Amino acid sequence: MTQNAFSRRTLLIGGAALVAASPFRTLALGAGPAIHVMKDPNCGCCSAWIEILENDGFAVTTEASAGTLLMRYKLDNGITQEMVSCHTGRVNGYMIERHVPVADIRRLLVERPDAVGLAVPGMPYGSPGMGPESEREAYDVFLIQRDGSTEVFTCYAAA
C-alpha cells in the first residue's frame, strides 16, 4: 500500500509540475500578446478600450501621459498628425492608435506587414470602447505605412 501511495503522489506532483511549466499554461490563463498603452489619465474611453483588450487575453500595461509628452511619443513612433488620439498602444513593434478592434490587432500580428501600425480616425460610435457595437456607425481601420501614408486595412459597416 505504501508503494501505491508513493506512486500516486509522485504522479500527482509530476503532473502538477508539468502543467505549471507548460507553455499551454499561459494560453489557459488567457495571457496573450503584451501591449503597452500610453493614455490620457482623464479619459474614460481609453480605460474601456483597455478593458476590451484584457478581456480578449492581451497582457496590458498602461502609462499615464498627456499633452506634449504624449504627442511627442506618437509622432516619434510614426503616428501621423491626422491619426493621433488620446491613447496609443505598442504591441510586438507595432503602434495601435485609437479604438482599433482586437480582431484587427490580431490580424496585424499574424500578417506582419512592414508598417508603423493601425489607427481608427475620430472616435466612431460603436468602435471598441465607444459604445455598443450593435449601434455602430461605419468606420475604417487604417494601416499606417512607414512613409506616413495610409491605406484601409478593414472597413466596418454601420450596424
Q: Domain ranges for the chain, please list them.
A: 1-30, 31-156
Whole-number pLDDT of residue 13: 44
Q: What does the alpha-carbon distance between residue 153 and residue 116 come to, in Å, rounded to a whole number?
A: 13
Q: Which CA distances in Å does 41 have to 34, 38, 61, 64? A: 20, 9, 13, 5
Q: Does domain 31-156 have CATH number 1.10.10?
A: no
Whole-number pLDDT of residue 60: 97
Low-confidence ranges of the chain (pLDDT < 50): 2, 9-29
Neighbours of 17 (CB within 10 A): 10
Q: What does the alpha-carbon distance between residue 23 and residue 18 come to, in Å, rounded to a whole number?
A: 10
117-119 vs 94-97, strand pairing mode: parallel
| pTM of the predicted protein model | 0.79
Whole-number pLDDT of residue 32: 86
Whole-number pLDDT of residue 3: 52
Helix (H, G, I), strand (E, B) or coil at 55: helix
Whole-number pLDDT of residue 72: 93
Whole-number pLDDT of residue 28: 41
